[in-house]
Copies of this chain bind each other. A is one copy, B any other.
Amino acid sequence: MKVIWNNEIVDRSQVRIDPEDRGYQFGDGIYEVIRAYNGTFFCLEEHLDRFYSSASKIEMNVPYTPAELKHLVNRLLDETGIQTGNLYLQLTRGVSSPRNHMYPDAGVLPMLTGTMTAVDRDAAKMEAGIPTIVTDDIRWLKCDIKMISLLGNIMVKHEAHKHNAEEAILHRDGIVTECSSSNLAIVKNGEILTHPDGNLILPGITKLVWIRCAKALGYPVREVPFSLDDLYEAEEVFCSSTTIEVMPVSRIGDHVLFDKVPGKVTRALQNAYLEEIEQQCGLLTV
């Protein structure tokens, strides 16, 4: 299998990560997941912008220009021959020994790795929706940085899994933020509500796209904090992320069930999102 290792495409078996890579000892790195459809990346520019933005927020230098990165990920896509799948791209602060909390000198080269995995769109799941739980947002206070120190995220995802759910809806003192690996929105009194960007959520690129679609379709969107009460009283609830696109929530914990998913607004956004994909990547068969 071909993968990215620094500025090269190599066979996966050649990649060797040092035990004193700061990504391994401190979770000191950032990442992006970028979806390809029909052999073309969707929203590549936006993802690379966020990659540089995350790096900048932790004062890490990306040792490649955006043009170089774009060339590299497109080469990986070509060489793997994957049509529809996910690129995982990660940059850590590199190898620094002996272990020390302090950022290393500028001479230490950040470590880039990237893999492509073939993953079809799960159209059936987008129809059926996903069950969720509600739990405390235990994460740190810089959730706008897409970083690899993800133990908080995976713990709440595991919590969801233990309750036969696929996502954990997170709240801080009763205010809903987002999910463990997706943004969240509700439809209430005909309005779409979603938590504003800032330090408590990831600025989702899929969210950016569906907000644009919603506005074009004439649905009012308000990026405002909303409560657990609002969540439970919502007419529709959906998550969004690069990998799950616009995904209806079918259940919240044991109590709340929606008669029918996707709801009307969610369905309209799913369709509009699909059109956005097809404009960039060509007609989809799945």
Give A contacts to B, CB under 8 Å: 3, 12, 15-21, 23-28, 31, 58-59, 88, 90, 92, 98-99, 101-103, 113, 115, 117, 136, 138-142, 145, 147-155, 157-158, 161, 180-181
Most buried by B among A101, A141, A158: A101
Q: List 21 A-B contacts (CB under 8 A).
A: A15-B19, A16-B17, A17-B18, A17-B19, A24-B92, A24-B148, A25-B31, A25-B88, A25-B148, A25-B150, A26-B153, A26-B154, A28-B154, A58-B155, A98-B117, A101-B153, A101-B180, A102-B161, A103-B158, A138-B142, A148-B151
Cα–Cα distance between A103 and B153 once the two chains are bound (Å): 11
Q: Does B17 lie within 8 Å of A24, measured CB to CB?
A: yes
Q: Does B153 lie within 8 Å of A150, measured CB to CB?
A: no
Q: A21-B24, A23-B24 are in contact. Are A142 and B152 (CB under 8 A)?
A: yes
- Point out the residues of chain B lying under 8 angstroms from A28, CB to CB: 150-151, 154
- Point out the residues of chain B lying under 8 angstroms from A90, CB to CB: 19, 24-25
Q: Does B151 lie within 8 Å of A152, measured CB to CB?
A: no
